[in-house]
Homo-oligomer: A and B are copies of this chain.
């Protein structure tokens, strides 16, 4: 079909939205997972009284979120429409797409979660661990068609760094939207399962009102290489080696693990699996038939020491330098089963995710210090991305030929680049929506679209056992304590005379000066006593006395040190 025959895409749209009939219900597309940041993914699709949610990710805290364990999306909008939520649809079981489920599902009892076989296998652990038994886990495989209220859900296979990853098309009365999930087009996938070009092309011919597509690698020109190229790299690296080989990669990258197994087999090496999540995923993927190998080639991790180095490959976690991971423990000589020795070769089969660069660098440095040779991203690529580069993104755009385009995932600048690619392929500039978290895009059956009123959206912090108790105030205090520490003053005052009893007690932590014999401390005490002994007019009030101590001490400490510790005055009246 020649391009010109698809009028919705090339005809100018009226500048003003038309007056609409009451029954002209829009499909509302709402990002709740934090647009413009890498980490968590959650899109809400709402038509009338029906909502389906695609993915429910978590993000890891950035360096200014002190003490925070995890960050999950604020789902106030869904909570207020609890009865309308029909399903959670999962594209694939990476943490940034499913990690929020344990915290969010309990608020939506009975709502089913749909996912493909491997994703269900991996989610099984979460279900057990977090007792998520109130939400049925149902099958949704590439190629299925599933009707949920006004939505016809059509998952389609895409390539990614985990098997059975899917994009999801939704047919609705307001038109068809395509959500790519995380994807790349791998023409030679390790498992032989090709991305579903046919369904994308068919949807494109029928007419797609809006494409939501993965922007993670939109800055990268050309094509992302096939996962298969990593297997070739593994074989080239391993071939001349006499010593032990240790490969670190993502526990969920089953295709990568398969390629480690294949390369090991090619050189008569056995494979040991180390690291809790790696072992868990290895077992699940094996049980579900996603990994194939001779059973005899697996070495139990507690027998690693008994296997000659030239017959062994260890596959482990920690390619991001995560402090508790297998590789970081090996690098710190703190691993129960693997002690790094000269002659070992470590392959870090990953690129550092933004924010992890320093962890990765430290791990590599420590491995070198321990005597290993390390093969890592800067000197040799034993890794490819699971995300599409520019040519693939353009192919996705040209297969689906959307009227409207929403770049999703990736940071703001990547979405800007992706928007430019869309315009290059023929989407009108005014039909590209780069949207803030919580901003709905409303798509109408006539092909028009508009931004809706923002809905509540943001972060919820998970800190220890608490979900949502830690907010900006607590974080601000943590930041202040982290920068300049604290300085506590305890004063006992005679209620009758107003005189100080004994000497004020000072407790300080994390402040510049440690020693309570320090002249600065002595002078601070003298000033406090003087302030109380020579009170101003209103000094009889404890609250005022406290604020006077606080201000005086803060000012004095700043003059002396140019630091502002948190000052806590305690006044005990007796």
Q: Is A469 an interface position by the 8 A CB rule?
A: yes
What is the distance, in angstroms, from A380's C-beta to the closest C-beta of chain B? 10
Q: Is A384 an interface position by the 8 A CB rule?
A: no
> For residues 344 through 371 of chain A, which have their beta carbon under 8 Å from a beta carbon of chain B?
354-355, 357-358, 361, 364-365, 368-369
What is the distance, in angstroms, from A341's C-beta to the closest C-beta of chain B? 16
Q: Is A290 an interface position by the 8 A CB rule?
A: no
B354 touches A361 (CB 8 A): yes
A479 touches B482 (CB 8 A): yes
B570 touches A509 (CB 8 A): no
Q: Is A463 an interface position by the 8 A CB rule?
A: yes
B560 touches A483 (CB 8 A): no
With A411-B365, A570-B570 as contacts: A378 and B219 at CB distance below 8 Å = yes
A417 touches B358 (CB 8 A): no
> For residues 364 through 423 of chain A, which have their beta carbon under 8 Å from a beta carbon of chain B?
364-365, 368-369, 374, 376, 378-379, 411-413, 416-417
Q: Is A198 an interface position by the 8 A CB rule?
A: no
Picked from B417, B473, B480, B483, the residue with its CB within 8 Å of the CB of A514 is B473
Of A63, A481, A505, most buried by chain B (CB within 10 Å of CB) is A481
What is the distance, in angstroms, from A31's C-beta to the closest C-beta of chain B? 16
With A368-B412, A481-B510 as contacts: A572 and B492 at CB distance below 8 Å = yes
- In Å, the complex CA distance between A572 and B511 comes to 24
Q: Which residues of the partner chain B approach A570 to less than 8 Å between Cβ atoms?
A: 488, 490, 505, 507, 570
B413 touches A464 (CB 8 A): no
Q: Is A470 an interface position by the 8 A CB rule?
A: yes
- In Å, the complex CA distance between A522 and B15 comes to 60
Who on chain B is nearest to A492 by CB? B572
B485 touches A477 (CB 8 A): yes
Q: Is A339 an interface position by the 8 A CB rule?
A: no
Taking A486-B509, A488-B568, A507-B568 as given, write out 20 further A-B residue pairs in contact, using a Cβ cutoff of 8 Å, ordered by the A residue number: A66-B482, A66-B510, A219-B378, A220-B378, A354-B361, A355-B358, A357-B357, A361-B411, A463-B561, A465-B562, A466-B513, A469-B514, A480-B509, A481-B510, A482-B482, A490-B490, A492-B574, A509-B566, A572-B572, A572-B574
Partner-B contacts on A (CB < 8 A): 36, 62-63, 66-67, 219-220, 354-355, 357-358, 361, 364-365, 368-369, 374, 376, 378-379, 411-413, 416-417, 463-466, 469-471, 473-475, 477-486, 488, 490, 492, 501, 505, 507, 509-514, 560-563, 566, 568, 570, 572, 574
